[in-house]
Amino acid sequence: MGQIQEQVHAKFKVFVGEPGTDHSLGSLANQVAQFVVENKVAAKSIGIEYLESSKRLIISLGYRDDEPSYPVELSSVSLGKIDISGNDFSALEKAMSDASQQHSNIICHELYVTESNEMLVVFMSHKA
C-alpha cells in the first residue's frame, strides 16, 4: 500500500458541461481522462456538483504533476431515488457498495443528485 503523502495534492482542473441524457457524466468523463493522459498528471481526487438551475455538471480533478501519470476513467452509476430524510443511511451505503462491485481499482468516488432527486455515484478508477 502507498503512503498518505502520495495522495496529497494541490493542483486542480475544472470541467463543465451537460450531463448525458441518462444523467451520467456524458462526454465530461472522456474529457477528464484525456486531460490526465495529455498532461501526464497523477489523478488523486474528483469533486462533482450538479447545478439544477442550468442542468450542468461541474467536475473538479485534483492531481499532482510531480509523479508518474497513470490512466483513469470516470464511471457514473445511478443509485435511483434513495430516501435520505432520516438518520439511517444503510440503504445508500449498500447501494454504493453494490455499485462499486461493477468497477475495479477505484481511487475515489463522489455523489451528485439531479433535479428529479436521482442519486448517482461517480467512481474514478485506475484504468489498468
For 24-71, write each residue's pLDDT tens digit: 999 999 999 999 999 999 999 999 999 989 999 999 999 999 999 999
2 pLDDT higher than 70: no
Q: Report d(CA 19, CA 36) in Å as an integer.
A: 20
User: Is the pTM higher than 0.85?
Assistant: yes
Q: Measure the N-to-C terminal CA separation of the chain; round to a whole number of Å.
A: 16
User: According to DSSP H, which parts of the chain are helical?
Assistant: 28-39, 90-100
| Domain extent for 69 | 4-126
Q: How many domains does the chain have?
A: 1
Question: How many Cα atoms occupy the beta-carbon half-sphere of 41 within 13 Å?
Answer: 21
